[in-house]
């Protein structure tokens, strides 16, 4: 009986800061759960990070540490292809070709470019503008079927689909047109102090990092925003009680309990009991990840070996796509 070929999945996170709870619950935890269902490629998106100025030594440190955290979160390098984006030159090479098939108007409509331009007004570089083209190259190189992304990246995947379809309409069936995959539970974790905005390293007091100590986690949840009314009731109401809803979402994703079960568990107890309970659930979930990551970070030779093997595996797949693209557009082949 012929073996059914697995669908391919690809995603990446920038090593622009330490990984946090939002990265884990919104992305990495789900990646690890899909290893038997999909052929998985996950990378450290270091090329994307330099649209914002980085400290070189810090970027190198975060890149190797992020790999350790990926593995500690359950991404087995024997079952997943884990690699650093800059180790596979085909990403940059395909990005240039695709930029010639991407319209200026399409890029100018990207909301993330507008947001980042406002945030980094002293450094509005062309990389910020063409970021979605590089992201399209990341995806299309590997002929990915699915791209797990947050809601804020869905627009970029839609542009990627448009670019792939445009290229295919000219040159035939070159790229697989990917589908975005967005999780319904845990897909977007908001900041503990800013429940109207997703959890971000730029607001450290409201951001729980994977390497935070238990005491730091308890402190952050103790200060977590709930709501401004006097109800003091654990009830899921995303519109009127976004802080409580965010905490319930975190607790639900970690424990598997429904919102109704959480409401029943904390009925009559108020936020004074609920917030520490969520904090303890996070501490217990993060403890084995932090301890394993700390162990792996000390073994640089092992991590370098994982990076090397990952780059080789990724380059093999990416190279096949790039050669096909180069031939289609008319580049002379050696």
- pLDDT in 10s for each residue of the chain, 334 residues: 445 688 999 999 999 888 999 999 888 988 888 888 999 999 999 999 998 899 999 999 999 999 999 999 999 999 999 999 999 999 999 999 999 999 999 998 887 777 777 777 777 888 888 999 999 999 999 999 999 877 677 888 999 999 999 999 999 999 999 998 876 555 688 999 988 888 988 888 899 999 999 999 999 999 998 877 667 788 888 888 999 999 999 999 999 899 999 999 998 888 889 999 999 999 999 999 999 999 999 999 999 999 999 999 999 999 999 999 999 999 998 8
Same domain, 14 and 142: yes
The answer to whether residue 222 is domain-embedded is: yes
Q: Are residues 306 and 275 in the same domain?
A: no
d(CA 295, CA 65): 11
Under 8 Å between Cβ of 46 and 15: yes
Asked if residue 1 is part of any domain, the answer here is no
What is the rounded CA–CA span in Å between residue 269 and residue 272?
7
Residue 87 has which token pair? 């180790």
> For position 2, what pLDDT does the model report?
45
> What is the DSSP secondary-structure string of 135-163?
HHHHHHTTT-SEEE--GGGHHHHHHHHHH
- Residue 218 shares a structural domain with residue 251: yes
**Global confidence as pTM:** 0.89
Closest CA to 261 of 289, 228, 280, 236: 236
Is the domain of 252 the same as that of 278?
yes
Same domain, 271 and 175: no
Query: What is the C-alpha separation between 174 and 322, in angstroms, rounded?
Result: 10
Residues 125 and 234 in one domain: no
If we measure between CA atoms, which residue out of 105, 159, 171 comes closest to residue 133? 159
Residues 233 and 147 in one domain: no
Question: How many structural domains is the chain composed of?
Answer: 2
- Same-domain status, 70 and 157: yes
Domain co-membership, 288 together with 304: no
Q: What is the 3-state secondary structure (H, E, C) of 42-75?
A: EEECHHHHCCCCCCHHHHHHHHHHHHHHHHHCCC
Backbone angles phi, psi at 203, to 5 degrees: -120, 75
Let me know if residue 304 belongs to a domain.
yes
* Same domain as 285, residue 173: no
Q: Which parts of the chain are beta strand (E)?
A: 7-13, 38-44, 80-84, 146-148, 179-181
The pLDDT assigned to 317 comes to: 97
Q: What pLDDT, on the 0 to 100 scale, is given for residue 3? A: 52
Whichever domain contains 182, its CATH number is 3.40.50.620
Report if residue 334 sits inside a domain: no
CATH for 219: 1.10.240.10
In a domain, 31, yes or no: yes
The catalytic site residues sit at 116, 198, 201
Q: 244 and 310: one domain?
A: no
Could you tell me if 67 and 82 are in contact, meaning their C-beta atoms sit under 8 angstroms apart? yes
Residue 250 placed within a domain: yes
- pLDDT score of 322: 98
Inside any domain, residue 119: yes
Instruction: Looking at the structure, tell me whether residues 25 and 136 fall in a common domain.
Output: yes
What is the phi-psi region of residue 330: left when phi exceeds 0, alpha when psi lies from -120 to 50, beta otherwise? left
Looking at residue 1, what is its pLDDT? 40
**Domain assignment of residue 199, yes or no:** no
Structural domain boundaries, residue 239: 204-295
């Amino acid at each position: 009986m012929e073996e059914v070929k697995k669908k391919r999945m690809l995603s990446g996170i920038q090593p622009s800061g330490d990984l946090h709870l939002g990265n884990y619950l919104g992305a990495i935890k789900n990646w690890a759960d899909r290893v038997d269902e999909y052929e998985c490629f996950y990378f450290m998106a270091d090329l994307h990070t330099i649209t914002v100025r980085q400290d070189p030594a810090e970027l190198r440190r975060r890149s190797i540490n992020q790999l350790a955290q990926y593995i500690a979160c359950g991404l087995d390098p024997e079952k997943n292809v884990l690699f650093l984006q800059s180790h596979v030159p085909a990403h940059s090479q395909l990005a240039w070709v695709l930029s010639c098939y991407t319209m200026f108007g399409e890029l100018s409509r990207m909301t993330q470019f507008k947001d980042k331009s406002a945030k980094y007004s002293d450094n509005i570089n062309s990389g910020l503008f063409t970021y979605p083209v590089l992201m399209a190259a990341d995806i299309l190189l590997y002929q990915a079927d699915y791209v797990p992304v947050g809601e804020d990246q869905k627009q970029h995947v839609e542009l990627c689909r448009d670019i792939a379809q445009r290229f295919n309409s000219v040159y035939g069936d070159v790229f697989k047109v990917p589908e975005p995959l967005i999780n319904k539970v845990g897909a977007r974790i908001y900041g503990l102090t800013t429940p109207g905005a997703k959890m971000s390293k730029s607001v450290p007091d409201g951001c729980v990092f994977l390497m935070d100590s238990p005491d730091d986690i308890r402190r952050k949840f103790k200060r977590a925003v709930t709501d401004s009314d006097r109800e003091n009731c654990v009830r899921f109401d995303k519109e009127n009680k976004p802080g409580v809803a965010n905490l319930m979402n975190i607790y639900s994703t970690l424990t598997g309990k429904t919102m109704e079960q959480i409401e029943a568990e904390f009925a009559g107890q108020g936020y004074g009991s609920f917030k520490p309970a969520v904090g303890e659930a996070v501490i217990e979930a993060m403890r084995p990840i932090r301890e394993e990551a700390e162990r792996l970070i000390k073994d640089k030779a092992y991590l370098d070996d994982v990076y090397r093997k990952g780059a080789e595996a990724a380059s093999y797949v990416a190279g096949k796509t790039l050669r096909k693209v180069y031939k289609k557009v008319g580049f002379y082949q050696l």
